[in-house]
Amino acid sequence: MSLPTRTLGGAAPAGPLTVSAIGFGGMSVTDAYGPADEREATDTLRAALDAGVTLFDTADVYGHGRNEELLGRVLGPHRDHVVIASKLGLPPAGGHPDGRPVDGRPAYVRRAIDASLGRLGTDRLDLYYLHRVDPQVPVEDTVGALAELVAAGKVLHVGLSEASAETVRRAHAVHPVTAVQSEYSLWTRDPEDEVLPALTELGIGFVPFSPLGRGILTGTVDLTEGFAADDVRRSHARYRGEDFAHNRALVARLEEVAAGRGVTTAQLALAWVLAQGEHVVPIPGTKRTAYLEQNVAAALVDLSADEVESVGALWPRSEVRGQRHPQMELLGG
């Protein structure tokens, strides 16, 4: 399959970052949503490569570093043909030494990059995100440290994750921000209020994570009782009790439209995200090759302006029940 490409940012010293229109979110291949089999995960990553995916997203905190190690092993032979993005700032295994929930101190930035490069088996990161903004450290200081990594050749592009529009502007004034990553999907529309307009104005790319609502927008999650004990969705209000039952019922609207369109529910949801702008590159994650192939095919689903509007209207923001994340205090900035 030949995937279309998109451009993230254009002001960085390295120039614009060209990637496949759909990337791969790596968190799920190391136990975030229940046990993950390394052989199956490896096959899925290789299938992504074969399908033309070039953007692979990970973080030092995923799988306590094992996620970066896995991606490093699989992507190593293809290093010059893929874009590897990772993140820093959230607590590693054992937590930060002084118990900080987020660490954006420049000294920590310098240590974190070397650890990630070692696990990934590479000499540079194409895109390095601040995973969460540290409320105790001015974002200008953190981004200044990231800029040092760019000057040293260890990082090519700087990104932010779950940052407010104001914070993005402050960071971008210190060093060009190539991409901002936030949760965004039909059932999580918060970035539309301020972040997306700011990114469009500043020429910054947008990388939505969980574009399928951690599975609910695929139409395949009917019950939560079968989730593994360590599945992160067990801690999410939207996936519990009456809130989940209500939210799952909303998916029926999407399923009906997808069936009439001749695509899967997941493909329709992803196509809607892609239609929000040419600077938008969603990174759905999966452990299974079959789902990977479906997700990637969404890049070829072309929605008209009327379809984009009607699909968005299927799931009004006011109808979604439950807080989107159990630790919202870490998601601001």
Query: What's the burial of 222, exposed, middle or buried (CB within 10 Å: 0-12/13-18/19+)?
Result: exposed
DSSP 282: -
How far, in whole angstroms, is CA 96 from its chain's centroid? Answer: 23
Q: Is the separation of the CB atoms in 10 and 120 below 8 Å? A: no
Residue found by looking up tokens 């302006």 in the block: 305
Cβ neighbours of 101 (radius 10 Å): 16
Annotated catalytic residue, options 33, 62, 108, 291: 62
Sequence letter at residue 117: L
> What token pair was written down for 25?
């979110």
DSSP 130: E
> What token pair was written down for 307?
């379809």
Distance in Å from the first CA to the final CA of the chain: 39
Q: How far apart are CA 146 and CA 281, in angstroms?
A: 22
Cβ neighbours of 164 (radius 10 Å): 20
Q: How far apart are CA 96 and CA 100, in angstroms?
A: 6
Residue 247's contacts (CB-CB under 8 Å, 6 or more residues apart) are 187, 216, 238, 320, 321, 322
Q: Is 108 in the active site?
A: no
Would you please indicate which residues are annotated as catalytic (active-site) residues? 62
